[in-house]
Structure 1
Amino acid sequence: MKSATHSIPLIRANSLHDLGELFKEQNPDIHALIASISAPLDVQQCHQDFLPEATLRSLIKVFGESCSPQAFIIAIQHACKTRYIPSVIAQLSQYGPMTVRSALEQFNEIISDHSSGARLSLKHFNGDDWFVRDKEGVCEDWFKYAEVFSVIFMDELVSALSGRRHWNRYVTLRSSDMESFITCPQLAHIQFFTHRSVTGIRLDASILNTDALLHRYPSNHAAQVLRPIPIQFVPAFKQSLQPYVRMGKLPLSQASRILCLHTRTIQRRLHAVGLTYRDVIEEIVLERAQDLLLNSCLSITAIAANMGYGDSANFTRFFKRKMAMTPSQYRCQKSAKAGVSRDRR
């Protein structure tokens, strides 16, 4: 099994919906937007848990390219101040009083529950403390927009937690071609250093040791128990493709485009654990079909169409090959067992 570093980065699906709010002022063609970021066609109606991080990267890139650097910064700052930061601080308030340092450390744990590709930490370099974001892809066209988003978010989070708006900001950026962003008036309070090894904000001990201001956005809800994000390659690969298999069979070439992974890379990683791409897709289709048979009133014909089969006969042959019974027999058998279990209570 490959290590987590060779996995498919996943995000919780609501992260894509939250970021999609940036487009509200632009009144975009939603179907064209969904297609341009390789999101599932039914992403607005479905309630899947996870999506590939590549969809989020594409969304931030499309938004960044659709407006000026200044408009991009203003939109991100507004979203952070009105949505993202209040939500984060409300979650942190569940853990009781803490310092800014402890709050940032706790936040780094929280964010990993929402994105398996997010790596933020507090690090000590050459006598200074830094709030650091470590992200691969600096040569990709989405990276600079995501980096600006991260810097604005990190800056706003530290300011909100500490209550400090006026302090010397020293920020390192991995991207080199950032002049159009760092010269905008909205970021004039930050001293930038480009083409560095990590994205980071230097923090003084006086800020880190301050009591975190968590009372501004108290949480009225118990801590939410989230289903863990898969980090090993095969489970993450299956989760990343599940929303797309809903729309029908998924060719390897299309999966490659969705995940931004070469087809040979996918095949090689699956081969390393004794699987083929067809094996994985059939597992996804079978699991989805079983769920629909047990938890919906859809006919066999409708379920077959949902799974991308032109007729129910082909679907029935596939299901029988996998389960040694027809879909109708499976539904009846499981329904009968469920009825017996209820009667015994």
Structure 2
Amino acid sequence: MNRLDLVYAPALSPVFGAAALPNSLLERFAEKAGLPGSIVDDPKGFVPLYATELFLDLVQRERGQDTFLFDSLSMDPSERSQAQSVVGVPLPEGFTSKEALEVMTQTFNGHVTGARFSSEIQGGRIWVLRTTAATEWSDVWSVLQYNLSIMLAGVRRTLKSEIRPVCLRLPARFSSEHLPEILDLPVELDAGHFGLAFDLCDVIHADRMLGQTSASKAVTVANPLTNNLMAALSECMNEFVMSSPYSCSADRVANAFGLSTRSYRRKLAAIGTSHAQLLSNARLKNACRMLAGQSQSITQVAYELGYGNPGDFTRFFKGRIGCTPIQYKQMHTKAL
């Protein structure tokens, strides 16, 4: 369990669209879980998996409806209209059905770390599975049902078929009243995995070759986390800076990953960075963008980036760029 684990923020979009809860309440739940409150209005980039799974549980408890998170993908109008993606993750084309499910799970793995998806044939069934060991929330019903809904929607959209699952794998038994009708199935217990099985004949019957996309290209394009973890961590820090500029301490961000501050710092060091470096880079990137925009004063930019004293911001900026914020604005004004 790495705990510097991230997940694609748009994967939460159906929850926001279907929850029928005030944005202010959803923002409060997000911040309580450790996420930037801005994720409710603009989910983008990557966010800590630990905080994301805790957020799902908080929303499920507030709604009180046993199957709300499972149903959210069909309740959200935007998600319901998608045919070539699921929760913002592109789905493969140009493969046989068996190959497509393998590529689909590989693509999922490119949008999350800590949890692993897989597709495997066992007997006369094809299983689509996810590991449960990512965080302490990964085996609670709220997190299980949301992932199961993503799996089912992903399979159906990939195969372009309303195929039905034939078996369910769970880390523990749940009362049938918690299960949506389509998941009222025989259950196999597996402490390390959960997922859905589909009849192999049904999958083969849906077999098709769509387009000419190669498997290697599809996986490479669709795996932003696998391709550049550092860039994803930087995006994650950027959201904290812009959403809560005065609450970007190592303690707060470590908590969002479910880590002690010491462990958080150690894991960042192991990949060649630090909290201070990520924070400094995020502030600098946004400072340059805002100063180039010309509409904000130096004081406004400083405050929006979490500096109580504009002089501290000026020293930071000049130390990183080599000129003062005023000089930077002037250079951009002349270039216009």
Q: CA deviation at 1:171?
A: 1.8
Residue 306 of structure 1 pairs with residue 304 of structure 2 = yes
1:173 paired residue among 170, 175, 184: 170
Partner residue, 1:208: 203
Partner residue, 1:219: none
The residue identity in structure 2 corresponding to 1:129 is I
Q: CA deviation at 1:315?
A: 0.9
Partner residue, 1:102: 99
8 Å CA contact retained: 1:74, 1:186:
no
Q: CA deviation at 1:11?
A: 3.4
**Compared with structure 1, are the counterparts of its residues 297 and 49 closer, same or farther at alpha carbon in structure 2 (3 Å cutoff)?**
farther
Partner residue, 1:342: none
Give unmatched runs, 5+ long, in structure 2: 211-217
2:54 paired residue among 52, 58, 65: 58
Distance 1:326 1:314 in 2: 11
The residue identity in structure 2 corresponding to 1:136 is A
2:19 is paired with a residue whose SS is helix
Distance 1:227 1:101 in 2: 20
Distance 2:180 2:231 in 1: 45
Per-residue CA deviations over 1:275-306 (Å, capped at 9, x if unaligned) read: 44323322221222122122452111111011
Partner residue, 1:130: 127
8 Å CA contact retained: 1:162, 1:213:
no
Partner residue, 1:148: 145
Distance 1:284 1:51 in 2: 15
Q: CA deviation at 1:261?
A: 2.0
Per-residue CA deviations over 1:126-176 (Å, capped at 9, x if unaligned) read: 675322223423643764322122234434554563746567x122112x2
Distance 1:316 1:28 in 2: 34
8 Å CA contact retained: 1:99, 1:212:
yes
**Compared with structure 1, are the counterparts of its residues 69 and 195 closer, same or farther at alpha carbon in structure 2 (3 Å cutoff)?**
farther
Matched positions, count: 321
8 Å CA contact retained: 2:91, 2:104:
no
1:261 is paired with a residue whose SS is coil
Q: CA deviation at 1:254?
A: 0.8
Partner residue, 1:236: 232
8 Å CA contact retained: 1:242, 1:284:
yes
Q: CA deviation at 1:265?
A: 1.2
Q: CA deviation at 1:68?
A: 4.3
- What TM-score, normalized to structure 2? 0.77
Residue 332 of structure 1 pairs with residue 330 of structure 2 = yes
Distance 2:142 2:267 in 1: 30
1:171 is paired with a residue whose SS is strand
- Higher Rg: 1
1:282 paired residue among 280, 305, 321: 280
**Greater relative contact order (Cα < 8 A, sep 6+):** 1
**Compared with structure 1, are the counterparts of its residues 105 and 55 closer, same or farther at alpha carbon in structure 2 (3 Å cutoff)?**
same
Per-residue CA deviations over 1:207-259 (Å, capped at 9, x if unaligned) read: 221235899xxxxxxx9x77934666544333222111123241111111222
Residue 49 of structure 1 pairs with residue 50 of structure 2 = no
- What TM-score, normalized to structure 1? 0.75
Structure 1 stretch displaced more, 191-200 or 18-27: 18-27
Distance 1:134 1:197 in 2: 6
Distance 1:31 1:75 in 2: 21
8 Å CA contact retained: 1:129, 1:203:
yes
**Compared with structure 1, are the counterparts of its residues 236 and 18 closer, same or farther at alpha carbon in structure 2 (3 Å cutoff)?**
same
The residue identity in structure 2 corresponding to 1:144 is W
**What's the Cα RMSD here?**
3.8
Distance 1:233 1:166 in 2: 35
**Compared with structure 1, are the counterparts of its residues 126 and 166 closer, same or farther at alpha carbon in structure 2 (3 Å cutoff)?**
closer
Partner residue, 1:21: 17
Identical counterparts, % of pairs: 19
8 Å CA contact retained: 2:16, 2:40:
no
1:136 is paired with a residue whose SS is coil
The residue identity in structure 1 corresponding to 2:288 is Q
Structure 1 stretch displaced more, 182-191 or 255-264: 182-191
Report matched runs for 1:72-91 at 5 Å.
72=68, 75-76=71-72, 78-79=74-75, 84=79, 87-89=82-84
Q: CA deviation at 1:192?
A: 0.9
8 Å CA contact retained: 1:40, 1:243:
yes
2:192 is paired with a residue whose SS is coil
Partner residue, 1:343: none
2:265 paired residue among 264, 267, 283: 267
